Amino acid sequence: MTTTINNQTQMRKGFTMIELIFVIVIIGILAAVAIPKLAATRDDAKISKIANAIQTAKSELASRIIATNNIPNDDADPVAAIKSYSNTIAEGVISGDIKVANIDVNESTITFIDKDGGEDCKVLKVMGNKNTTAVKLVLATDNNNTAICQGVNTLVTDTSISVGGTQVTY
């Protein structure tokens, strides 16, 4: 666009205020649409991670019990015994996504956590001792107040598994 000042032609450079406002409004609309979708994707990833860890830990424990014909129980350090039976559990303890505790000689718990929400989602109990031929793995909902835990509960149902000898009974 050209303007004439004192009989001289000058080129105007830059954008007008209206053009800048339109660009800012369009960027704002795009951000308003994209940000919630990105946040939901992050939550879905957390739900999938916890659900996958639960399923993998159950399978690893059952497989190891059958393969070794031993239960994960060590009177000196039962928590280390549980971690040695499952790489998923050992890695989850390091990252803070999983807690392992020994309640008594016959029961240990593996708790799967929503760290951001501060809630325990699921608890996998390993029940049995050195003198039993069968071990029971019981998965139960612990606390489901956060959206992440509720999502995990829809993907992973509470189950009870008996592992003994060379078989797993669901």
Summarize pLDDT for 52-103 with one digit per residue, the tens. Answer: 999 998 888 888 878 877 777 666 676 787 888 888 888 888 888 888 887 6
Q: Per-residue pLDDT tens for 103-137?
A: 666 778 888 888 877 788 888 888 876 666 678 88
Report if residue 5 sits inside a domain.
no
Closest to 129 (Cα-Cα) out of 74, 85, 86: 74
Give the chain's domain count. Answer: 1
Amino acid at 3: T
Q: How far is CA 44 from CA 41, 75, 92, 143, in A?
A: 5, 39, 18, 18
Check: CB of residue 82 under 8 Å from CB of residue 108.
Answer: yes
Report if residue 103 sits inside a domain.
yes
pLDDT score of 166: 56
Domain of 27 in residue numbering reads as: 16-169
pTM flag (> 0.85): no
Report if residue 4 sits inside a domain.
no
Report if residue 3 sits inside a domain.
no
